Amino acid sequence: MLLIPCPHCGPRAQVEFAYGGDATVARPVDPDAVGARQWLDHVYLRENPKGPHLEWWQHVAGCRAWIRVRRDTVTHAVLGAATAAGSIEGGAS
């Protein structure tokens, strides 16, 4: 079981969280400035890295906040966590 360090509640079991996917996917800032192709890239394409992965989790059975977690997709080790707007120690963003 993953142990996820919620920045609000402390270390909690994975079953308290819902997964929200890749947190590096950025919605186009100006919707009118991009075409359909770029919108569809945003909706569908994922880098899908093998190794460290920045991802969203929602602490649904706790503070209900969305948090960002950096986790290794090969070892499942949780490398760090931060609030949605915060930064994760030891890594970019």
Residues that bind other proteins in the complex, under the rule CB under 8 A: 1-2, 14-15, 19, 21-22, 36-37, 40-41, 43-48, 50, 53, 55, 71, 73-76
Q: What's the closest the beta carbon of residue 13 comes to other proteins, in angstroms?
A: 8
- Beta-carbon count within 10 A of 73 CB: 13
Residue whose CB is less far from other proteins, 14 or 93: 14
Whether residue 70 contacts residue 86, with contact meaning beta carbons closer than 8 Å, is answered with: no
- As given in the structure block, the two tokens for residue 23 are 């947190």
Q: Which is nearer to other proteins, 9 or 22 (CB)?
A: 22
Q: Contact at 8 Å (CB) between 62 and 4?
A: no
Parallel, antiparallel or unpaired: strands 18-22 and 52-58: antiparallel
Closer CB to other proteins, 26 or 36, in the complex: 36
Across the strands, what pairs with 7? none
- At its nearest, how many Å lie between other proteins and the CB of residue 14? 6
